[in-house]
Amino acid sequence: MECLYCQGNLVRKTVSHAVTRKGYHLIVDVPAWVCEQCGEPLFDEETVNEIQAMLREVDSRVKKLTPALA
């Protein structure tokens, strides 16, 4: 596979993915294709779907813990 940005070679690695939203920070280690030349990660569809499911779950739990402002 080739990098979408620099056409470098992609290799399978585990990377840290950080998300900041709705008052929380989440850092998870996930599989990705990483460019050997520029370091850009590329996530496959399954990984993206799992990250999104995790964020929906955390969002719902944060909502339960956050009091409504009057």
Find all residues with CB under 8 Å of 50, minimum gap 6, and list them: 30
pLDDT in tens, the chain (70 residues): 899 999 999 999 999 999 998 788 999 999 999 999 999 999 999 999 999 999 999 988 888 877 765 4
CA-derived radius of gyration, the chain: 16
Q: What would the two tokens of residue 65 be?
A: 């813990």
Bin 32: left if φ > 0, else alpha if -120 < ψ < 50, else beta: beta
- Determine the pLDDT at residue 18: 96
Measure the CA–CA gap between 9 and 41, rounded to whole angstroms: 11
- Determine the pLDDT at residue 70: 45
- Determine the pLDDT at residue 62: 84
All structural domains of the chain:
10-65 (3.10.20)
- Determine the pLDDT at residue 31: 98
- Determine the pLDDT at residue 33: 98
Q: What angle do CA 20, 38, 10 make, to 5 degrees?
A: 95
